[in-house]
Amino acid sequence: MNARTLLRESFARLVLWTGVVAAVRKFLWRDRVAILLYHNPSPSTLDAHLSYLTRICDIVPLDALSQPGRGRPRAVITLDDGHAGNAALLPVFDKHRVRPTIFLCSGVIEHRAAHWWMHPAAAGTDIERLKRLPNRERLAQLHERGYQGAELRQVLPMLLGGGQLREPTIADEGRNGTAPTGLSVRQVKQMRARVDFQSHTRFHPILTRCEDAECEQEITGSRRDIERLTGRPCVHFAYPNGNYGEREIRLLRAAGYRTARTCDVGWNDDATDPFRLRAIDIHDDSSLAWFIAQLTGIPLFLRYARHGGGWRGRKPQF
């Protein structure tokens, strides 16, 4: 067991031992909605988490968020990015009768691309530093390291000053020659009856580091893509990396979205701004004890506060 795991497990035991878990459930969670945020958990880990969760709360679909509670805590299961591994989770969702929401990067899916931070060009780079760069600068630096593909081609005309966005084609990505990291279009179509697919942009840029036109293209384009892919309305959005501001909310409203999930920690009820839905970010490899500790929101709250997010549970922004 490494030092970080040991620290987490010790903290988890402390939280369980002190009765904080029950107190949070009673006074903070109440009958409000905890939106849990996963990325790419293993089936066995998710199975253990859902077995526990179904005992202590009602698991509801994201669409039921605005409905009144029945006096019990509620949870929504969301997974970000549309990782290829999500397809193996279907039996777990079926077993627990959970309809999750998977927030897809539609461009990554449609072009059989790699999520940019998992692309070979990003290997060995400081991903957190790249996130903070203006979007074009991030793409330029990745391009220098061999990043090609649809995302770059979408922005390239703007990089060259033409201003006109060209729709990238699947052939663009074929030339890229990189293994895809997301679900395939076929898998999405197979899963759509049991999974709610919604938008996480096309290529997962940090929206607050994008020019207006890039931001608008990512928000409106992904909605159009996902409705075409699934044949169902796409009205929910999750901000990549949890970065958002007033401009992003304005563009989402204009594009016809109804809600947007942040990475800010907390629970949701009638009073929550639908474009600032709070979440509880769960580590994909969490032991059951660490999962239960994370459900209190305390580890995330402390991490955000330590990194400059303040004391209101806001994920630090840039």
3-class DSSP state of 236:
strand
Instruction: Closer to Zn ion by CB, 243 or 296: give it.
Output: 243
Contact residues: Zn ion, CB under 5 A = 80-81, 240
CB of 36 to Zn ion, least distance (A): 14
Residue 101: how many other CB atoms lie within 10 Å:
21
CB 296 within 8 Å of CB 20: yes
Residue 126 CB, shortest distance to Zn ion, in Å, is 18
Nearer to Zn ion, 200 or 314 (CB): 200
- CA distances to 79, 184, 210 from 85, rounded to whole Å, are 11, 11, 29
DSSP for 23-52, written as a single string: HHIIIIITTSEEEEEESS--HHHHHHHHHH
Minimum CB distance to Zn ion, residue 242 (Å):
8
User: Which residue has the closest beta carbon to Zn ion?
Assistant: 80
- Token digits for 11? 């903290």
Name the residue nearer to Zn ion (CB basis): 81 or 173: 81
Gap between the Cα atoms of 35 and 4, Å rounded: 25
Measured CA to CA, the distance from residue 50 to residue 236 in angstroms comes to: 23
* Residue whose CB is less far from Zn ion, 40 or 178: 40
By beta-carbon proximity to Zn ion, the closer residue of 149 and 182 is: 182
